[in-house]
Amino acid sequence: MNFLVNHNRRFDAVLFDLGNTLIYFDGDWSKILPQADAALIFSLLALGLVFDAGSFLKEFQKRLESYFILRDAELIEYTTAFILRKLLQDWGFLEIPDRLITTALEGHYRVLQAYWKPEVDAIPTLVSLHQRGYRLAIVSNAGDNADVQALIDKANIRSYFDLIISSAKAGIRKPNPRIFTDVLDKLGVPPDRAVMVGDTLSADILGAQNAGVYKIWITRRADKIANSVHIDTIHPDAVITTLLELPDLLDILPGE
């Protein structure tokens, strides 16, 4: 494997989480998620499927909850589409075209996408890093790859990145180190020449640690249970509160 290394600085690549790092959800999940679920059911009914909407939605939500627990334990991303297809099959819809699943989920995620917004300092930071010659990538845990791609386009940040990987596409989730090493292999950068920036200790920071990547925790949207339970056991190499701190931080970090 041939890595391209610039020895004049400590790092060559910056990996970013997506949600709550580059973009944020500007809404009340408890009110908006039911709207997204209703859009999913409406899409399925509009596509000609006949079932009891209330019972189906209750079972779908139950299976999603089990899926979220399982994927965090196994670090395998089965995808929301897989869960929906399996439920439809169990309800007697055995021959479901892929396009039907895609269309139904597009309706669901479109509701949520309207509330995701780019952080005001995301593009200025990406511009600065890009001008300084860093290779940039996104590594996002997500149940639907199309949703990730739509959010990136909505935030207008795609052009800054050399590579964009979602767990839905890769089939594995952070903190599995392989999702990090696969990205770095594609970038042609060794782990000790890369940094990961993310808001979740148990995914972004632990995953980077497992992969031998320098880990930076961004804390402005990190006040959540998923972090509080790990605050004493998972330790970042550096902490920032805004993305604007990142370029200068990378400049002053001493080489090894």
Over residues 113-138, the pLDDT tens digits come to 999 999 999 999 999 999 999 999 99
DSSP label at residue 76: B
Q: How many residues does the structure list for the chain?
A: 256
**The predicted structure's pLDDT at residue 1:** 37
**Which parts of the chain register pLDDT below 70?**
1-8, 255-256
- 193, with CB counted inside 10 A (0-12, 13-18, 19+), is buried
**The predicted structure's pLDDT at residue 29:** 95
What are 15's strand-pairing partners?
137, 196
**The predicted structure's pLDDT at residue 3:** 42
Global pTM?
A: 0.93
Q: CB 207: neighbour CB atoms within 10 A?
A: 28
**The predicted structure's pLDDT at residue 256:** 58
CA-based nearest residue to 158, from 150, 146, 167: 150
Structural contact between residues 111 and 39, judged by C-beta atoms closer than 8 angstroms: yes
Pairing outcome for strands 23-25 and 116-118: antiparallel
Structural contact between residues 110 and 144, judged by C-beta atoms closer than 8 angstroms: no
Distance in angstroms (rounded) separating the CA atoms of residues 217 and 236: 6
- 50, with CB counted inside 10 A (0-12, 13-18, 19+), is exposed
**The predicted structure's pLDDT at residue 226:** 84
**The predicted structure's pLDDT at residue 5:** 46
Q: Which residues contact 10 (CB under 8 A, 6 or more apart)?
A: 193, 214, 250, 253, 254, 255, 256
Q: Which residues contact 42 (CB under 8 A, 6 or more apart)?
A: 107
pLDDT tens digits, one per residue of 18-32: 999 999 999 999 999
Ordered domains of the chain (ranges, CATH): 13-25+117-252 (3.40.50.1000), 29-113 (1.10.150)
Structural contact between residues 100 and 3, judged by C-beta atoms closer than 8 angstroms: no
**162-166: which pairs have CB atoms within 8 A and are 24 or more residues apart?**
162/135, 162/136, 162/137, 162/187, 163/137, 163/138, 163/187, 164/137, 164/138, 164/140, 165/137, 165/138, 165/139, 165/140, 166/140, 166/141, 166/142
AA letter at 176 = N
